Structure 1
Amino acid sequence: MQIRPATPQDKPAMIALLKKSLGEGLIPKSEALWTWKHEQNPFGASFVLLAEENNTIIGLRAFMQWQWKWKGNLYKAIRAVDTATHPDHQGKGIFKKLTLQQLELCKQQGIHFVFNTPNDQSRPGYLKMGWVQQGRMPLKFKVTNPIALAWAVAFKKGKAGSTAEDPTPVQQWDPAVFKLMDRYTNTDNDQLQTVLSTEYIRWRYADNPLFRYNYFTDFENFLLIGRIKSHSFTRELRLVDCMLFNNASSDRHINSRISRTILPYCKKNKIQVISFSGQQYQLNRSALSWMGIIPVQNRGPIVTVRDLNMSEQFSSLLNINNWGYSLGDMELF
């Protein structure tokens, strides 16, 4: 078995392997999606290793590049994302070999750390390879229509739950949104935050081929991004990112301005629940008091991290108070 970096010519075979190994599932496998996700990322192209035997690709491991800003410093990270092993070659340790070799290559490239949110089935394997559980992602919730939600839960009680993207047509992204982002700078605070830019917002949300994201803004002081998630018993507005401009966090009127933008949208679209990252909520609390009194709860996915070049600073990544991640930073796509 040979392990080598992927080349552009490998793309059709890689997509075929993903389909054979994982099926289509909720996220379709296509060359267009791969190109958007792994090649157009403004943080840089993904690191991709392949396992090959008899001129046939039998294993794949992709790490997506990411960048965080913390206390004025830039940290390069990778997200452990796509992986696949040919069904005829299971049990040969291909996943582990590709992952460990990819980690070493990324370490040589100066990447600081790895982060991801593995599920219960894959998490034990990551922990054996040196990943550490940072904790469960805190979430902030607001119930916009308690009566409708209680009725829906009671009516659906005992039935199998399901989730799906909402069919509500996405709004066209106004170019003024990107002009607004041209003025945005990450503040130097005590929590890690994704490096946000016009290019990132366009790639991650506006041009996302998987999910339909909408934005909420006054084109001057704030920009929030979200998508509707339909469940078997409710409709959720998942707010995935929040940006404030012009020192808006110190404006005592900003809270009401944001609520007057978002809450009528929820009423119109019959949304019963709003979800938001608990860490990002704490960062912007003065502008988000309209989210109500329900406490932040540890109900999100389990975040795991692994050191590459952080050294003594790695222990700081295990303290959840050092993170200001958004739902958009951690949701799978």
Structure 2
Amino acid sequence: MLVRPATPNDRTAIIDLLRKSLGESSIPKSEALWQWKHEQNPFGPSYILVAEEEGQLIGVRAFMQWEWVRNGKIYRAVRAVDTATHPDFQGKGIFKKLTLQQAESCRQQGVLFVFNTPNGQSRPGYLKMGWIVQGRMPLKCKLLRPFSIVRVRLFDKKKYARQEGDPTPFQKWTFDVLNIPDDYVQQEGQLSTVLSPQYISWRYANNPLYTYNYFTDQEQFLLIGRIKRHAYAKELRLVDFVQFDLRADESYLRKAIKKQVLSFCEQHQIDFISFSGYQYRAYRRCFRWMGLLPVRQLGPVITLKDLNMQENFKYLLNTKNWCYSIGDLELF
């Protein structure tokens, strides 16, 4: 078996392998999506390894480049994402071999750590390879139509088809909204994704999977969200928040955000709102209108693997040192 870095010429074979191994799902397998996700990422192209057997592609492992910032310091990381093994070669350790070799390659290139949100089925395999569970992401929710939430819990979700997004934008992306001020300083003291016009444009405005749009006054804040349809409820998922000036009047921000969001929810018959518990705590004074329901550990389980952090890796395991957004961790 030959293991080597992937090239653009492998793209068609990689998509074919993903389809054979994983089938189609709510996230389609296409070359256009692969290019957007792994080649157009403003943090840089993904690290991708493939395994070959007699000229046939039998395995693939992709780590997406990511950058976090805290107190002005950039932390280079990778997000362990797409992986597949050909059905005829499963159970032979290809996933483990590619994953560990990819992690070592990233370590040699100065990447500090790996993060991802594996499901319950794949998580044990990651833990055996040295990943450590950090915890479950907290969420802050506001119920607008509580009975719809009850109905979601009463029925088996697997029986019903769901649409991931709403085809109608509630605001159209413009250049102005991506024009983050030069003196913009992100929330300090906690790790958060490096936000830039390039990142926001790639991750949200040009996302081929979901329709993301925004609430803004075009001066003080940008709140990004998307509608997620469930079988018996409609959710407004607030995926990212940018406060351009951390010294801005919080009473003004709170009123402006509340007015725009709740007006939209009424217009589109939203049943509940979800927001990152980390971002809610960091910007609590802007989101007090979200009510008294406590922040709860309802999001995905986050795992980390140290590459070059060494003693400082303990810092990463403390969830208080992070300000994850939903957009940082949702699958795409």
TM-score category of the 2 structures, normalised to the smaller one: over 0.9
Structure 2 unmatched runs, 5+:
none
Rounded Cα–Cα distance in structure 2 between residues aligned with 1:152 and 1:104:
44
Distance 1:33 1:279, change over 3 A: same
State the Cα distance separating 1:270 from its structure 2 match. Answer: 0.3
Instruction: Percent identity, please.
Output: 56
Please state if 1:239 is matched with 2:222: no
Instruction: Tell me which amino acid in the other structure corresponds to 2:308.
Output: N
Structure 1 residues 182, 203: closer, same or farther in 2, change over 3 A?
farther
Matched, 1:294 2:290: no
Kindly provide the CA deviation profile for residues 17-60 of structure 1, in whole angstroms up to 9, marking residues without a partner as x.
Answer: 11111111111111110000000000000000000010111000
1:18 maps to 18
Aligned residue in 1 for 2:150? 153
1:3/1:52 contact within 8 Å kept: yes
SS in 1 for 2:32: helix
Q: State the TM-score, normalizing by the size of structure 1.
A: 0.95
CA distance in 2, matches of 1:107, 1:79: 13
**2:281 corresponds to which letter in structure 1?**
Q
Amino acid of the structure 2 residue aligned with 1:89: F
Match of residue 72 from structure 2: 72
1:135 & 1:159 partners in 2: Cα distance? 26
Within a 5 Å distance, the mapping from 1:30-179 to structure 2 comes to 30-145=30-145, 149-150=146-147, 153-154=150-151, 157-160=154-157, 162=160, 163-170=162-169, 171-179=171-179
- Aligned counterparts of 1:251 and 1:204: Cα–Cα separation in 2: 27
Quote the offset at 1:246 in angstroms. 2.6
Between the aligned partners of 1:211 and 1:76, the Cα distance in structure 2 is 26
Matched length: 329
- Over residues 103-138 of structure 1, what are the superposed CA-to-partner deviations in whole Å (9 max), with x where a residue is unaligned? 000000100000000000000000000000000000
* CA RMSD between the two structures: 1.6
Post-superposition shift, 1:158? Answer: 3.5
TM-score (normalizing by structure 2): 0.95
- Secondary structure, counterpart of 1:103 in structure 2: helix
Aligned to 2:257: 258
Contact 1:113 1:309 in 2 (8 A): yes
Call closer, same or farther: CA 1:233–1:111 in 2, change over 3 Å. Answer: same
- Equivalent residues of 2:226, 2:236 under 8 A apart: yes
What is the alpha-carbon distance in structure 2 between the residues aligned to residue 192 and residue 198 of structure 1? 19
C-alpha displacement of 1:164: 2.4
1:252 offset after TM fit, Å?
2.2
Decide which moves more: 60-69 or 288-297.
288-297
SS for the counterpart of 1:165 is coil
Q: Which runs of 5+ in 1 are unaligned?
A: none
How many angstroms does 1:326 deviate by?
Answer: 0.2
